[in-house]
Structure 1
Amino acid sequence: MKYGLYENAKDLLDKFKQIYPDNIEIHQRLKKLYKEIDHKEEAITECLALKDLYDKRGEQENSAQIVKEALEINPDDERLSSFKEMPIYQYTVETAKAPSIEEYSEEIAEADFYIRQGLIDEAHEILERLNNIFPDNVEIKRRLESLGHVVETGEPKVEKHEAVLEEKVAIEEMAKSEDVIEAEEVEELELDKDVLDIFEEFKKGLEKEVKEEDYETHYNLGIAYKEMALIDDAIKEFQISKKDPKRAISASNMLGLCYMEKGLYSLAIEAFKDAISMTKEKDESYWSMKYDLAEAYERNGDIKEALDLFIEVYGWNSKFRDVSEKINNLKVKVSEDIDKRKTKDRKDRVSYI
Structure 2
Amino acid sequence: MASKEKLLLSAQKNLKKRLLPRAIKDFAKVVDIDPNDMRSRQKLAELYAKTGKSTEAFEQYETVAKYFSGNGFYLKAIAIYRQMQRLDPSQITIFARLAELNEKQGLIGNAMAEYRQLVSYYEKEGQTADVIRILEKMQDVDPENLNIQVKLAEVYSASGRQQEGREYFDAALKVLQDKQNHDKILQLYAKFLPLFSNDDELRRGLAETLIEKGQMEKALGLLQSLLREQPEDPVLLEMLATTYRGLDDLNNCRLTYQQLLKKQPNNLDLRTELVRCCLDSDHFEQALQELEEWKEAFQKQDRLAELQTFYESLKQALPDNRTVVNTLDSIYRLTGDGDPLLNVMETEGIEETAPEPQDDVFDALLDTASEDLEDDAYIDLGELEGVAEEGAIELEELDGEEGSTVEVAEEELVELELSDLVDIDGDEPFDLAVELEEIDESDAPLLNPPQDLEEAEFYLQQGLYDEAEKVCRAILAVSPDDADCQAKLQEVQSRREGSESDSDASNALHDLAVEVLDDDFADFVASGLEAGNTDKAGAFDDLLDSSDDGPIFRTDVDDQIAADDMESHYNLGIAYREMGLFDDAVSEFNKAQSDPARFVDCQTLKGLCYVDKGDFEKGEEAFRAALASTTIDEGQRLSLYYELGALYEAFQHPQEALASYRFVADADPEFRDIAEKVARLSQGDDSASTNSSASKDRISFL
Is the structural similarity TM-score above 0.5?
Answer: no
Question: So what's the TM-score if we normalise by structure 1?
Answer: 0.39
More helix per residue: 1 or 2? Answer: 1
Question: So what's the TM-score if we normalise by structure 2?
Answer: 0.21
Instruction: State the structure with more CA Rg.
Output: 2
